[in-house]
Amino acid sequence: MVQNKLKEAESEIEELSMQLVDMLEVALYFAGFKKENLKNSIEIYLNAIDEVYEDEEGEMGVDEIIEVINHIKKTQPTLFR
C-alpha cells in the first residue's frame, strides 16, 4: 500500500516536472526566444542561473527568473527574435 502511494507520488512529481519544463520553454518563447532555439533553451537557462547567481543557494522567484532571462538576452541576443 505504501509502496503504491510512493510510486504514484513519484509519477506525479515526474509529470509536474515535465509540465514545468514545457512552461519554461513557453515563457522563454514569449520572452522572445526563437522557436528553433527552444530545444536548447533549458540548458541555456540553467547555465544562465549559474552565471547570474554563481554558487548561491535559494529559491527562484519571479524577479530572479526575470533577471536570468534578461541576462540571457544581454549575453546571447542572437537566440532571440
Give backbone dihedrals phi and psi of 80, rounded to 5 degrees, phi first. Answer: -110, 155
Taking only the tens of pLDDT, the chain with its 81 residues reads 888 989 999 999 999 999 999 999 999 999 999 999 999 999 999 999 999 998 777 788 999 999 999 999 999 999 999
pLDDT of residue 29: 96
Query: 522572445: which residue's cell?
Result: 32
Q: Which residue range is the domain that position 13 belongs to?
A: 2-79
C-alpha cell at 55: 554558487
DSSP state of 58: S
- Number of folded domains that form the chain: 1
- What is the model's pTM? 0.81
Which pLDDT score, from 0 to 100, does residue 30 have? 96
Tell me the β-bridge partners of 33.
80
